[in-house]
Chains A and B, each alone.
Chain A
Amino acid sequence: MSIEIAADTIPSAFPQTESERVAASTRRLMLAFLITGFCALLVGATIGPLQALNYGGVDAYPALRPLLQSYYQGLTIHGVMNGYVFTFFVTCGLLVYLPARELGVTPNLTMWRACFAIMAVGALCVLYAMGDNSSSVLWTFYPPLKGSPFFYIGITLLALGSTMPLSILLQMRATWRRHRPGEITPLVTYMSLTTMLMWGLAGVGVVAELVLQLDPWSLGLISTVDPIINRTLFWLTGHPIVYFWLMPAYVSWYGLLSRQVGGKLVSDPMARITFALLMIFSLPVGTHHQFSDPGFSSIWRGILVVLTMSVATPSLVTAFTIGLSLEYAGRLRGGQGWFGWFRALPWSDPSVAGQILAAITFILGGATGIVNGSWQLNAIVHNTTFIPGHFHVTVGSVTAMTFMAITFWMVPHLTGRQLISRRLALFSVWVWFVGMTIFAIGMTWAGLYGVPRRAWVSALPHGTYHALYGAASVPLALVAIGGVLLWVASYSFFAVFFGTLLFGRRAAPPPIPFAQSFGGPASSTIDSPPNPARSASPLIRALDHIWLLTGVTALATIAAYIPILWPFLHHVTRAPGWILW
């Protein structure tokens, strides 16, 4: 395998050497992942505010026919494009490109292109199936609602494609280790690898659901499916997907942000512990999404509560470590006193502002998550607007804003073009922050009045809407206001993103801001000076045994799911499909 020597040369139309040509293809491929992902967000985020207006009592859908037939078709497109297509493309780009550059090793470009192609075909199938209103089954596609084969096969391809970076990462790590025997995996690579291992395990659930049941069912090969088994398999993947959304953002917070603010990462071990814990705890707990379902025993529900609470630990550790790294940078920049360091951070850098604001929204996101995971409280909020309120301040802010913030340095880095407007970029992340916060407060608050999620409430007769949800008029108005602000924010962002790609002025591309940790090496590339592992603690060396971690996680998952699936497998229901939209 050829070794790329990391060099940030100005991208040239006529690369001189083989290694420059490879570096240029790597950059182009990363850019393709980024642009495709953000095109999906453009579609999803355009439809999003229509959903918010719906809760405010404004029904925009009649005006959108024949483009969109119903709120439910719009909501399906919003969820699938944002939740799957956007996040999968950006993540499958980032988690290959960043480790490749950290290690100074060329990724397997054929495999990476195949990953892109498979997901792109999947995305086109899904878009077709949603566009003709044949599959308005929402992003959770619970059977026995029955969409078109294009929908299920498209999702299958997206899911399979999104696990392919795992093998690319394993190859790169093996190459690096051959040249540097006995050394600990560098941090960004470690974080990316645990994320992809977690996702590779998690994907088993939804791939089994699709390949064994929904794909053949939609093609007419089998006539019935079991709703509760499929629902359980969906959440086997559907909960860890939350971490597949979050962990890439954490990669940027741990691996890059401390450098972007002018400091260092205060604790490399804490980052590794966080990722190992996220991997172990995210998998066995999927059925906490089914606290309201009949089926599995109360004992298991209790165990799930304990495991679910445990997932909060790595996120709270992250809050500490990232907070402290920011404080260190702020003090280096002359910040004094309790909050001076926070003001002293480089807020004028839109990439920094975007990530810090994203982290702040996660306070609300994490706290509401603990509510969802608490069995008894979950009974009050389950399937109310509280739930989307919660996940819009996780995936809708932490992931979306961090990815937006990453583009502010990455597009110049990949294309050699300067941001067309730093001010507009700053404006977009601030308005997104304010809009999403208002939206989420409105949604979680309205949920406490029993307003159901995913309901076309604005299509109800006016009197019915008021009789049912009039008590929640203030929070529902906040939802609509938040939605409109998010429109402003997303279009400002896309003006910067596409404007920079097309019209940005040529300039020397900035390097990737890899953070150095306290006591860590300045560079971990394959040809950098040796960094003997003896300075690493035994814990860190133990955590580097990724297959051991994977094995423990797999065993815990199997142990958690056998007692849950057992009664379902002994009482199979044969439910025919329904097309009800």
Chain B
Amino acid sequence: MNDNTGMSPLESAFHASAERHERFWIFGVLVMLVLLTIGTMFYVVHDYGLVTSTHSYATDPQAPPREAAFQDGKVVRTGPNAYAVYMVGRAWHWSPDVIHVPEGAEITFYVTSADVLHGFEIQGTPVNLTAVPGVVGTVKYTFHHTGLFRIICNEYCGMFHHAMVARIIVDPAGTP
């Protein structure tokens, strides 16, 4: 082979063996990455609710928080076992800051921000949505355990960012 010009016998032997192993390694790497990709894609398609998506845009960032649903801050029943929750992030609190939802119901969160970026993270779940001024983002989640969950702001929003915490209380199914 051309590549071998100017090599000592030790180098040539090492090189030949290296080339074999190199091909094997690269094959292994590609197989591993393909499997990882398929794995993560399967999960997303299988458990589609955790895809964050856009509900609406607004030119004025103050417009969405002024909508009735966001102003009321109520948990709205949208189906037999489905609820919608409207959340606004403001420096440095979430509104509403205490939410009751039933166990086992599909909850759709509509999240926006009235000032800067905030991060809507429900601790202990994969719910993780950036609250962007002028955009209403949405994500669906079903709580399978009762108890207290915390919404923690995970996008830096100023001096009291660390204190921007709200609560979700998941009540046993069937409680009104």
Contact = CB atoms under 8 A, between A and B. Distances in A.
Contacts of B173: none
A72 B129 contact: no
A309 B3 CA distance: 31
B107 interface: no
Contact of A294 (B7, B44, B54): B54
Interface stretch (A89-97, A169-177, A300-308): A300-308
B135 A328 contact: no
Interface in A375-404: 375-377, 379-380, 382-384
A535 B3 CA distance: 6
Contact of B159 (A72, A291, A292): A72
B77 interface: no
A563 to B, nearest CB: 14
A147 to B, nearest CB: 12
Given A468-B150, A519-B4, A313 B121 contact: no
Nearest to B157: A580
Contacts of B154: 382-384, 452-453, 455
Given A306-B37, A320-B22, A580-B158, A292 B47 contact: no
Interface in B40-98: 40-41, 43-44, 47, 50-55, 57-61, 91
A228 B25 contact: no
Interface string A455-494: 1110110001000100000000000000000000000000
Given A313-B29, A320-B26, 8 more contacts: A293-B130, A305-B37, A374-B36, A379-B127, A384-B154, A571-B58, A574-B61, A578-B116
A537 B51 contact: no
A145 B117 CA distance: 8
B57 A571 contact: yes
Given A266-B18, A295-B135, A317-B29, A578 B161 contact: no
Contacts of A99: none
B40 A457 contact: no
A336 interface: no
A228 B3 CA distance: 50
A138 interface: yes
Interface residues of B, number: 69
A575 B134 CA distance: 8
B89 to A, nearest CB: 12
Given A294-B136, A460-B162, A383 B30 contact: no
Q: Is the interface of B mostly helix, strand, loop or mixed?
A: mixed
Contacts of A453: 154
B171 interface: no
Contacts of A267: 18, 22
B159 A227 contact: no
A537 B2 contact: yes
Contacts of B102: none
B161 A294 contact: no
B41 A302 contact: yes
Contacts of A294: 52-55, 129-130, 132, 135-138
16 contacts: A72-B159, A145-B117, A145-B156, A231-B117, A231-B132, A269-B3, A292-B130, A293-B52, A295-B137, A324-B21, A376-B43, A384-B154, A452-B121, A518-B7, A571-B135, A578-B116
Given A456-B161, A580-B158, A144 B133 contact: yes
A321 B165 CA distance: 48
A328 B14 contact: yes
A70 B2 contact: no
A264 interface: yes
